[in-house]
Amino acid sequence: MVKLLFFLIISNQLLMAQDFDFANRLYYDYEQYCESALTHRRFKHSDIKPLIERLKNNNKFRVEEIGKSAEGKEIYLLTLGTGKTKVFLWSQMHGDEPTATMALFDIFNFFSISDSFDPVRKELLNKLTIYFMPMVNPDGAEIYQRRNIYEIDINRDAVRQQTPEGILLRQTFDRLRAHYGFNLHDQSTRYSVGNSFKSAALSFLAPATDYGKSIDSVRTNAIQLIGELYKTLSQFIPGHIAKYADDFEPRAFGDNFQKWGTSTILLESGGWKDDPEKQFLRKMNFITLLSAFRSIASNSFKNESLEVYDQILFNDKFIFDVVLRNLKYSRDGKSYLIDVGINLNEINFNNGSAFYYKSSIEDIGDLSVYFGYKDYDFTGMEIIPGKVFEKVFSSYDELLSLDIKELHKNGYTSVVLQGGNLEAPFTELPINILISGIDNSNEFMLGKRADFTITQGDEIRYVIINGFPIDIKNSIGEIKNGLIY
Ligand SMILES: [Zn+2]
């Protein structure tokens, strides 16, 4: 009797711990499922096509070509499972929002492999039929832009139905009438979780179905499921989960799908320090979605109170890429105490297959309510504009033999190239190149590039080149690229 009671207590605890345990196992075993053909954000339709073609030979998957993009790229629907509860996921309707697409391919690998998760796979595929529509906007992905090739935002085309991609998404929705929907996006990396000094790595939303944001049973399911996912994911990224702005958008897919009866969850991948290619957030997507499938299959989310969702902080904008704090700044014979907020904007290059960084000074003054992915306290130091090296160079090759570290040490942030006709707008050299004849003053103004020297007494302690700080004394820091002006 005692033994039996003991067994009941233990098994009960096992059941209760099940979801966290499942997510934890996914976290530690993730590498086995990670699709190695996708390693960065700027992959194209031609990168995922062979992966999908390969799945046609896998009898677990049903692969359909459901139509084509405006430029004729195939759009697919992949189906797994035979269960009566239908789950529909669509990713990358915005071409430059690819994180979840990578995770979908990891999930395809998860379901292709046989290992200790087999009982879970079996349960999921018996209870659910899961439909995946990866990369809804392949033409946008091709050039890494949000909109489709007609420059129309597909997510404002749910009702008017003018884009081939939006029409396909709507047709597929109408055909499936799934019980649950996952609308997969990326948001700005500069969203914070409220004013909490933490980046919004993931943001969720159960989209509203009217301007009054009323809550019916369809939306309640989404709210409860988000509540459970919030708790599950918080063990990996505590404090880094937010809620997306919940205003009703009558033209968007998520809002309408919710209105038309599919419990819909918006999942936005945001920013994570030192994860520019979003590989960690891809892993978080993988865990989120598989945890969601598990929760839907077992109905465990129905036990969740609505308050969890209510209490998730909204996205806010209190992040800069770089913050320089407590600097003395002299102007017109007076000195001021300032913080400087800098963003490192990604500019598409080579038709969106690559990018470079272009810094801009976003704010100057008291930035104590903000934080930076890179955040420096320069108390006791002074900021002065970077200098342009006096010698004029006549060829790029000459620049290659320069001792640039020595220039940094002496406060130079730019060099001048006479009459050069460099094609690219950036250089991999850790210094800016000014083409002679162009205005080459380093102005300390909002919107201008961030090129400074940080001094302590007579000593130069840091140079900031195109927004990237280098600690001169300790040789710490990396300049991803300089600019060519
Ligand atoms: Zn989006």
| Domains parsed from the chain with CATH numbers | 18-316 (3.40.630.10), 319-483 (2.30.40.10)
d(CA 468, CA 343): 10
DSSP, residue by residue, 190-254: T-EETTSS-B-SEEEE---SSTT----HHHHHHHHHHHHHHHHHHTTSTT-EEE------TTSHH
> How much distance in Å is there from the Cα of 317 to the middle of ligand 1?
17
CA of 406 to the centre of ligand 1 (A): 44
Cα separation, 133 vs 145, whole angstroms: 19
> What pLDDT does 15 receive?
44
The CA 100 to ligand 1 mean position distance, Å, reads 11
In the numeric block, the tokens 């800016």 are attached to 432
- Whole-number Å distance, alpha carbon 8 to ligand 1 midpoint, is 47
Query: How close is the Cα of 178 to the center of ligand 1, in Å?
Result: 21
| 186 alpha carbon – ligand 1 mean position (Å) | 6
pLDDT value for 226 = 98
Q: What's the gap in Å between 154 CA and the centre of ligand 1? A: 9
Q: Ligand 1: distance of its center to the CA of 92 in Å? A: 7
CA 470 – ligand 1 centroid, Å? 34
Question: Ligand 1 center to residue 96 CA distance, Å?
Answer: 8
From the CA of 93, how far away is ligand 1's center (Å)?
A: 7
CA of 303 to the centre of ligand 1 (A): 30
Could you tell me the mean pLDDT of each successive run of 10 residues in the chain, 485 residues long?
A: 46 50 97 98 98 97 98 98 98 98 98 97 98 98 97 96 98 98 98 97 97 97 98 98 97 96 98 97 98 98 97 98 97 95 97 95 98 98 94 92 95 88 89 79 83 96 97 91 94
For 303, which DSSP code?
G
Using the mean position of ligand 1's atoms as its centre, give its distance from the Cα of residue 135 in Å.
12
Tell me the longest C-alpha to C-alpha distance in the chain.
Answer: 92
Evaluate whether 362 touches 351 at the Cβ level (below 8 Å): no
Q: How far is the CA of 140 from the centre of ligand 1 (A)?
A: 12
Q: Ligand 1 centroid vs 172 CA: distance in angstroms?
A: 19
Give this prediction's pTM: 0.94
Ramachandran category for residue 107: left, alpha or beta (phi over 0 → left; psi -120 to 50 → alpha): alpha
State the distance from the centre of ligand 1 to the C-alpha of 91, rounded, in angstroms. 9
Nearest-angstrom CA–CA distance, 248 and 474: 51
DSSP H or E run through 257: helix 253-259
> What's the gap in Å between 139 CA and the centre of ligand 1?
15
Å from CA of 384 to ligand 1 middle: 39
